[in-house]
Amino acid sequence: MVGDLSYMQPEFVQSFLAGLAASGVLTSGLRLITKATFNNSKGGLRKGASKFNFSFSIVIQILLMMFQFDFSIELYIIMTISLIHHAIYIVIAVLFFAISTFFELLCVLLYAFVFPKIPIVKYYRTKAASEGCKTVLPDLAASGIQTISKEDEDRTKTQERKGNKQLLIENFDYLLDMFLIYALTLSIFPGFLFEDTGAHSLGTWYALVLVAMYNVWDLIGRYIPLLEFLKLESRKLITVAILCRFLLVPAFYFTAKYGEQGWMIMLTSFLGLSNGYLTVCVITSAPKGYKGPEQNALGNLLVLFLLCGIFAGVTLDWLWLIGKGW
């Protein structure tokens, strides 16, 4: 998706990235609602996840009702109420899964059948095809747009498209920036926030508040580059800013050990803000100056390094456990 949007307007990529952050905010909101709803109930938050236990309990109760005929009517009523109670939780769990699957499938269908028919998408895909991008030709054909003529095809053959290796060399700083952004972020969020937060007045709400603050400020950070005077476009300044973020590692360590919860919330908010802001700055700045096929390829390379950064960050997150029995 990012590669597809990279040869269009930068605002499209920004909106897509902001949507990803918005999903995190929504998830945090639902998590807080769940916490507030079930925190004081018997069994706590485990009720929403113990589907297997509920199913097993229902099977046992049905067998008892089938083979034990000497129970009193009161016992049958109690067992029936318990059966209905457990069944409701199973229905809720299945309903949650069904709704999530429905929206995921809906997004896939919208991207496959509706997105290609949007006029501005057709325009940019046609433009990319005229510049030699072959990956958009099936999409244009599916949208009912005639592909480029033979004259245009002969002209595009004469145009040189930079290979992936050359794009990687020319934009290695951008790709490394993307890797470092998410390697640092995922080495702190969310594992460290749950493991090294200590005891504070917020109690069991503390880690949830930290995650929610990260997601909210990550979303805000992805909208800041829309203000041109606040957007970083200098490659050197972007790299310097990303390297400076590594100062957050000792900052989080000493704050978790000696600081108050307010300082930790502030650091977490800054982590989210800088993550969203720098992500948009890199992804929207890197494809500038290239032709459609090259922008598409570069967008895919950026996503590849982003995923590598996520994997590295999740792996490095285990280093926080050194000295704690490891």
- Give the C-alpha separation, 17 to 174, whole Å: 17
SS3 192: helix
> Which of 39-48, 68-77, 287-296 tops mean pLDDT?
287-296
Q: Where are the alpha helices (DSSP H) in the chain?
A: 2-6, 10-38, 51-67, 73-109, 119-130, 137-142, 150-158, 164-170, 172-188, 191-195, 206-221, 235-244, 248-258, 261-285, 292-316
What are the residues whose beta carbons fall under 8 Å from the beta carbon of 270, sequence distance 6 or more? 217, 248
CB atoms inside a 10 Å sphere around CB 204: 10
pLDDT value, residue 197: 57
This model's pTM is above 0.85: no
What share of the chain in percent tops pLDDT 70?
73
pLDDT digits (tens, 9 = 90+) for 192-227: 877 765 667 777 788 889 999 999 999 999 999 999
SS3 322: coil
Which residue reads 């999530």 in tokens? 100
By CB neighbour count within 10 A (0-12 exposed, 13-18 middle, 19+ buried), where does 290 fall? buried
pLDDT value, residue 5: 87
Average pLDDT over residues 40-68: 51
CB atoms inside a 10 Å sphere around CB 70: 5
Domain residue limits, the chain: 2-36+162-318, 41-117
pLDDT digits (tens, 9 = 90+) for 70-122: 555 555 555 566 666 666 666 666 777 788 888 889 988 988 888 888 888 88
pLDDT digits (tens, 9 = 90+) for 28-43: 888 888 788 766 655 5
